[in-house]
Amino acid sequence: MHFIRRLGAAFALVAGALVGVAETGIIAPALAQQPTPWQVGMQPAGSPVAQQIHSLHTLVLWIITAVTIFVGALIVYVLYRFSAKRNPVPSQLSHHTGLEVAWTLLPVLILVVIAIPSFRLVYYEDRTANADMTIKVTGHQWYWEYSYPDHGNVDFSSYYIKDDDATPHIRLLDVDNPLVLPAGKNIRILTTSGDVIHSFFIPSLGVQRYAIPGRTIETWVRIDKPGQYYGECNQICGTNHSFMPISIKAVTPEDFATWVEQAKTKFASDAPAPMPVPAGRVAIAQAQPIPAPLPVGDAQ
Ligand SMILES: [Cu+2]
């Protein structure tokens, strides 16, 4: 029984991939901004970038399906037409200029057709010209830290909630403090890391950027509508790599403003403290009088 169910699921997978049904949303269940058991296809797009990714995926799917069918049919034809029985005296032909030009040019054309929207998409998801706000995402072993430089430097850490907790939650996706963002706004995302390389990945929003120590990498998102969106660290970063999910709560701009005010108090103690200065240096700094600025125009 189990085997038959698996076989059925495998068939659904192949059929779905072939006709691209998954992209139409027929198979994908509603409200799936998270993976679901036996899910076929991608999670519904929740941002313009994700929509573009889906259209490119659909385009490439149609092209590779056509290529596969063409090559498959050619093989079947050749097996039939040129079998030893039907074709006892094989052709001695070793060169055919027209054919060689065709099988070089045609794949080049196909690749160009794929490359143009690919590059457009790469630049589209790279950055937004008109960012309404910025958030900074720092990967740590093994949690995410979110900062809001445009909103009083609200800064907090986001840890996953352990499975054995009493509160109901989604396994390995729910966190204590989700990243709260306003829907409908262009949000600049800056990623970096405090230790090793992580990757900030939210499939339904089309966001995926490395978080690399010593570097800041940019991308952006505009979440279509309020809701809950989930992601995962997508770069193996150590023992607890599987335990640093990303949970995004998209709210209306009004609710976001309210949340910011609450967050300022709630996370006040979480804000990064200024680097402590060694006592000796303070003494020296205080002992040195600040030199008066040079009068302008006096220099020879
Ligand atoms: Cu990781």
pLDDT tens per residue, range 8-19? 444 444 444 433
- Angle, in degrees to the nearest 10, between helices 97-124 and 48-81: 160
Res 274 pLDDT > 90:
no
Residues 147/153, Cβ–Cβ less than 8 Å: yes
Q: What's the CA-to-centroid distance between 243 and ligand 1, angstroms?
A: 8
Nearest CA to 244 out of 135, 169, 182, 162 is that of 162
φ and ψ at 195, to 5 degrees?
-145, -80
Res 292 pLDDT > 90:
no
Q: What's the CA-to-centroid distance between 46 and ligand 1, angstroms?
A: 23
Residues 178/216, Cβ–Cβ less than 8 Å: no
Q: How confident is the model at residue 118 (pLDDT cuts 50, 70, 90)?
A: very high
Res 170 pLDDT > 80:
no
Tell me 194's DSSP state: S
As a whole number of Å, the CA-based R_g of the chain is 28
pTM for the whole structure: 0.73
Predicted pLDDT of residue 36: 78
Tell me which of 88 and 6 has the higher pLDDT.
88
The residue written with tokens 């770069």 in the block is: 235
Q: Which of 30-34, 78-82, 118-122, 265-269 is predicted least confidently?
A: 30-34
Q: Which of 35-44, 148-157, 256-265, 289-298 is predicted least confidently?
A: 289-298
Q: What's the CA-to-centroid distance between 203 and ligand 1, angstroms?
A: 15
Q: What's the CA-to-centroid distance between 244 and ligand 1, angstroms?
A: 7
Residues facing 18 on adjacent strands: none
Q: How confident is the model at residue 294 (pLDDT cuts 50, 70, 90)?
A: low
3-state secondary structure of 208: strand
- The structural domains of the chain, ordered by start, are 2-84+100-126 (1.10.287.90), 133-269 (2.60.40.420)
φ and ψ at 66, to 5 degrees?
-60, -45
Q: What's the CA-to-centroid distance between 233 and ligand 1, angstroms?
A: 4
**pLDDT 10s digits, 182-222:** 999 999 999 999 999 999 999 999 999 999 999 999 999 99
Tell me which of 270 and 80 has the higher pLDDT.
80
Q: What's the CA-to-centroid distance between 127 and ligand 1, angstroms?
A: 23
Q: What's the CA-to-centroid distance between 261 and ligand 1, angstroms?
A: 31
Q: What's the CA-to-centroid distance between 231 and ligand 1, angstroms?
A: 11
**pLDDT 10s digits, 99-115:** 999 999 999 999 999 99
Q: What's the CA-to-centroid distance between 38 and ligand 1, angstroms?
A: 24
Q: What's the CA-to-centroid distance between 95 and ligand 1, angstroms?
A: 53
Give me the half-sphere count of Cα atoms (radius 13 Å) on the Cβ side of residue 263: 22
Q: How confident is the model at residue 125 (pLDDT cuts 50, 70, 90)?
A: very high
Q: What's the CA-to-centroid distance between 192 and ligand 1, angstroms?
A: 13
